[in-house]
Amino acid sequence: MPNDLTLSSQALGNQCLTLDNPDYYINRELSHLQFNQRVLAQALDENHPLLERLKFLLIFSSNLDEFFEIRVAGLKQRIQLQREATGPDGMQPTEVLEKIAQICLDEVQQQYATLNEVLIPALARENIRFLRRRQWTPEQAEWVEKYVDEEVIPVISPIGLDPAHPFPRLVNKSLNFIVSLEGKDAFGRETGLAIVPAPRSLPRLIRIPDELCEAGDNFAFLSSAIHAHADKLFTGMTVKGCYQFRITRNADLDVDTEGVEDLARALRGELHSRRFGTAVRMEVADNCPKEMTDFLLQEVGLTENELYRVDGPVNLKRLMHLPDMVNRPDLLYPPFTPGMPKGLSRKDNIFKALALRDYLLLHPFESFTPVAELLRQAAKDPDVLAIKQTLYRTGSRPQIVDALIEAARNGKEVTVVVELRARFDEEENLELASRLQEAGAVVVYGVVGYKTHAKMILVVRREQGQLKRYVHLGTGNYHSGNARLYTDYSLLSSDPSLTKDVHKVFHQLTGMGKTERMKKILHAPFTLKRQLLKLIEGETKVAEEGGAARIILKANGLTEPRVIHALYRASQAGVKIDLIIRGMCCLRPGIAGVSDNIRVFSVIGRFLEHTRTYYFENAKPSTYCASADLMERNLNRRVETCFPVEKPSLAHRVLEDLEAYLAGGAQCWELDAAGEYHLRGGNDHPAAQSLLLQRLSDYAPGE
């Protein structure tokens, strides 16, 4: 891949040491693409089982889709509105778009080369085959034709292009075909072109009956089946060419919150438009003639720079169903049972357990069940008076929501802050909000202009004539599926000061009033960034006075300029700084005199790294977990919580977890001063996720 982030050491050496120098910052969009490149690299890593490698390839595809839907769309909109202000890196949006096109063209070529030259042959050796049209036996071809006649043609709607049938509005990321025709139809029309949208209800992979194939699992692509029998859609005409294509559109919802009386109603009105936003990218079969791609580009308002020719299916994400269609557990990660701390199993009274001590869980290595169990027991407990919770992402039909509904029906005061604008989960959140309201829960939508991203549960219980509070605070969402795939911390506590702080945050979200002083919680957009900067400054002062100082920050992204400035100043003072940043990182480490005391790592593995953890060696408390990343949106425009891990044993455990990531090993990448990531393999340290699986879960490698 062309190195668009490289900065020569000579150029660095010639710059003065002002911390506003654009050369000290990496562009966030280009850094995002680097993260996706690391995801793609997992598809080639034979340490992962074969079907998991395919999943990484498809995750890369899904990530790239969202990158165009949101990030590229946003850049194009800024240019259109003439808002071309530069960021700390000094790059104009037009310049960034040019770099994105160069990088993405190369990444997409790598993606399809990996699919065609590595993964498909490897799957074939495991008797999992994708049969192309030229490979079909006469019996298979006959079966596919019957499938098209019975399952495809009845639901497909070809669209001939003429003045009465202009180019259709095609749904975002849908599979379509452009067909060149010869001859006249029954009405004497001879336009020569038609569009065939593939029905979204049809599977993209078609299993060929076992009796017609070699042993194993054999599939045909829906695109191949339609292509082979496109002539059946245009009776009496000759199909000269049939080529698949897909349009990616702007999918960022734009709800003008000023003057909106009902946010839910306004959002429902915007959801439909997401499917038909402005086009930002076109993917097309690599054998499509230029005159046809030129026609498509003109119709959707794109240029050649926004065209991606691909050697394979244009909608790779739909292949994510393949592992469920084959019974091959040997080609997947070995199963494991998340660990369960004593005192938190279903048979235990969770309130008695939390009255005795705090519990800190690291998912998915440790079970998410205690979090759901807190709500389940609260819903049934006659002594529980009230439950308050924030919901950002939950998935469809979540147990968490079922427990809240049961609690409301049991007469408890249930208040739920539902964030309707959780990107791509808006529709599900609208539905669960309706379900909660129907059950009698009070549902609010947070604060207009600020996404509610904090992860909090508050349970109020009467005990011995007095009210006692219990809380859950987390770094991730209340989504049981994600809890098996994402790494996140959960703190369960009855600490009076902590629970009172959570109570105050809920009052801010549901009511009105000035910001109340918190004893323990740091919260955005009010105190979190300010306190983080103070904590960094505290380590800086210790180092300036000759003491040992250290900072470890683990997050999904680091883009906030003031935080980066503070870290640079700390590095200049001699603070040893380790940053574990999964995705975007705008800080450039290793610059002499600026960031030579900073190391940046990224871990990509079986689980999506999602914990936000902050460690400051000389602070008391030294260790924090948070819902917030170190990004402008989180620290300035969202409601976030950051909570201390005060109990020494738990704080020590968090530091041990961080050290496991810093030890290197497989799956750990390091960022250098030139802006390049390098895999840190080749040592004796096990991958951090493997180490945590062994330490915390009921898992035995090789079983």
Among 228, 199, 256, 480, smallest CA distance to 363 is for: 480
Per residue in 585-616, pLDDT (tens digit) is 999 999 999 999 999 999 999 999 999 999 99
Give the model's confidence band at 30: pLDDT under 50 very low, under 70 low, under 90 confident, else very high.
very high
Q: How many CB atoms lie within 10 A of CB 34?
A: 22
pLDDT of 236 reads 83
pLDDT of 210 reads 94
Under 8 Å between Cβ of 88 and 22: yes
Across 267-276, 395-404, 608-617, least confident range: 267-276
pLDDT of 25 reads 95
Percent of the chain with pLDDT over 70: 90
pLDDT for residue 256 is more than 50: no
DSSP string, 270-300: HHHHHTT--EEEEEEETTS-HHHHHHHHHHH
Tokens of 310: 């691909």
pLDDT of 428 reads 75
Per residue in 51-90, pLDDT (tens digit) is 999 999 999 999 999 999 989 998 998 888 877 678 899 9
Phi, psi (degrees; rounded to nearest 5) at 450: -135, 115
Q: Facing residues of 523 across strands?
A: 641
pLDDT of 597 reads 98
pLDDT of 361 reads 97
Q: How many CB atoms lie within 10 A of CB 240?
A: 12
pLDDT for residue 4 is more than 60: no
Give the model's confidence band at 424: pLDDT under 50 very low, under 70 low, under 90 confident, else very high.
low
Across 319-328, 461-470, 660-669, least confident range: 660-669
pLDDT of 255 reads 46
Q: Average pLDDT, stretch 102-123?
A: 97
pLDDT of 395 reads 67
pLDDT of 675 reads 93
Name all domains of the chain by residue range, CATH numbers in brackets.
1-9+21-125 (1.20.58.310), 131-259+276-331 (3.30.1840.10), 350-516 (3.30.870.10), 523-696 (3.30.870.10)
Alpha-carbon distance 72 to 33, whole Å? Answer: 11
pLDDT of 557 reads 97
Helices (H) and strands (E) in the chain, counts: 21, 27
Q: Which residues are catalytic?
A: 453
Alpha-carbon distance 194 to 296, whole Å? Answer: 11
Give the model's confidence band at 7: pLDDT under 50 very low, under 70 low, under 90 confident, else very high.
very low
DSSP string, 159-193: EE-BTTBPPP-PPTT--EEEEEEES--TT-----E
pLDDT of 421 reads 65
Q: Average pLDDT, stretch 251-261?
A: 53
Give the model's confidence band at 103: pLDDT under 50 very low, under 70 low, under 90 confident, else very high.
very high
pLDDT of 426 reads 64
DSSP string, 73-120: HHHHHHHHTT-----TT---HHHHHHHHHHHHHHHHHHHHHHIIIIIH
Q: Using alpha carbons only, what angle is made at residue 220 by residues 167 and 130, rounded to the nearest 5 degrees?
A: 120
Q: What is the mean pLDDT of the chain?
A: 89
pLDDT of 284 reads 97
pLDDT of 13 reads 40
Alpha-carbon distance 191 to 159, whole Å? Answer: 11
Tokens of 626: 């948070």
Across 11-25, 123-137, 395-409, least confident range: 11-25
What's the whole-model pTM score? 0.91
Across 95-109, 385-399, 536-550, 616-630, least confident range: 385-399
pLDDT for residue 564 is more than 70: yes
Which value, in Å, is the radius of gyration of the alpha carbons in the chain? 27
Among 338, 339, 337, 341, smallest CA distance to 353 is for: 341
pLDDT for residue 577 is more than 90: yes
pLDDT of 119 reads 98
Q: Kindly list the distances between the CA atom of residue 248 and the CA atoms of 109, 171, 410, 420, 528, in Å, as whole numbers in the listed order.
A: 18, 9, 46, 23, 36
Higher-pLDDT residue of 558, 341: 558
Per residue in 176-235, pLDDT (tens digit) is 999 999 887 666 666 789 999 998 889 999 999 999 998 899 999 999 999 999 999 998
Give the model's confidence band at 98: pLDDT under 50 very low, under 70 low, under 90 confident, else very high.
very high
Q: Residue 649 class from Cβ within 10 Å (0-12 exposed, 13-18 middle, 19+ buried)? A: exposed
Indicate the SS3 state at residue 368. coil
Per residue in 293-320, pLDDT (tens digit) is 999 999 999 999 999 999 999 989 889 9
